[in-house]
């Protein structure tokens, strides 16, 4: 599964790099940080994580829908008061997503958007215990949905807010079954080309 994940990641990066040359209408959205919440029962005490990512969507001029590819991730760390048993634990979620995106153009600078598709998800947990470091990881596929609004501040630059969720993943860590499903909210910075009004 790890080799397939790496191959899909390499193909996605190649597609994102070639996007400006292959599509006439391209948007690059960067999510510098987001407050992400995972299932408390499965992820406690690292269910609250800091996320971030980038999504590129591309399409022909005038196309109502764009193809979207993105890389997203999050990390959560917890320090414990009893270092005799466990000192700290860290959880990491990595996500490669594909889907479609729709942006509604209004008469002003406001641009609502909605996107969704499938994600390849990798979850990892590492703990520093009295017996040494222990870790586990697992991969899954989930469904993602994202929406929000941004404002065009210049012909190329956008600033906005977004919300994103992942559902339908199945993860097993340390012989316990759970998921990597989450919801998150945060700011977004965007760059569009060619220049748009």
Q: What angle do CA 58, 68, 152 make, to 5 degrees?
A: 60
State the pLDDT at residue 21.
46
Q: CB count, 10 Å around CB of 7?
A: 10
Contact yes or no for 144/165 (Cβ under 8 A): yes
Task: Report the largest interatomic distance among the alpha carbons of the chain, rounded to a whole angstrom.
Answer: 62
Specify the pLDDT at position 13: 53
Question: Distance between CA atoms of 52 and 188, rounded to whole angstroms?
Answer: 10
- Kindly indicate whether the domain formed by 2-193 is annotated with CATH number 2.40.160.20: yes
Nearest alpha carbon to residue 44 among 183, 178, 184? 178
Q: How far apart are CA 66 and CA 103, in angstroms?
A: 9
Q: Where are the alpha helices (DSSP H) in the chain?
A: 2-22, 40-43
Return the structure tokens found at 53: 């990512």
What does the DSSP assignment read for 92-103?
EEEEEEEEEEEE
In this prediction, residue 80 carries a pLDDT of: 76
Burial of 84 from C-beta contacts in 10 A (0-12 / 13-18 / 19+): exposed
pLDDT digits (tens, 9 = 90+) for 45-79: 899 999 999 999 999 888 889 999 999 999 999 88
Query: What is the structure's pLDDT at 117?
Result: 98
Ranges under pLDDT 50 in the chain: 1, 19-21
Domain positions in the chain are 2-193
What pTM value is reported for the model? Answer: 0.83
């Amino acid at each position: 599964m790890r080799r397939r994940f790496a191959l899909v990641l390499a193909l996605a990066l190649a597609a994102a790099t070639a996007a400006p040359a292959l599509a006439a209408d391209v948007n690059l959205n960067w999510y510098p940080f987001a407050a992400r919440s995972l299932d408390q029962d499965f992820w406690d005490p690292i269910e609250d994580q800091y996320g971030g990512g980038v999504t590129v969507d591309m399409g022909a001029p005038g196309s109502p829908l764009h193809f979207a590819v993105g890389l997203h991730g999050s990390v959560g760390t917890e320090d414990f008061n009893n270092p005799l048993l466990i000192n700290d634990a860290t959880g990491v979620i990595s996500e490669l997503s594909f889907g479609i995106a729709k942006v509604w153009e209004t008469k002003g600078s406001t641009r609502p958007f909605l996107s969704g598709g499938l994600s390849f998800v990798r979850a990892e947990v590492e703990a520093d215990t009295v017996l040494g470091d222990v870790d586990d990881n697992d991969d899954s596929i989930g469904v993602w949905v994202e929406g929000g609004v941004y404002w065009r501040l210049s012909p190329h630059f956008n600033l906005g807010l977004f919300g994103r969720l992942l559902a339908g993943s199945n993860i097993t860590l340390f012989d316990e079954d759970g998921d990597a499903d989450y919801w998150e909210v945060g700011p977004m910075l965007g760059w569009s080309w060619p220049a748009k009004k």
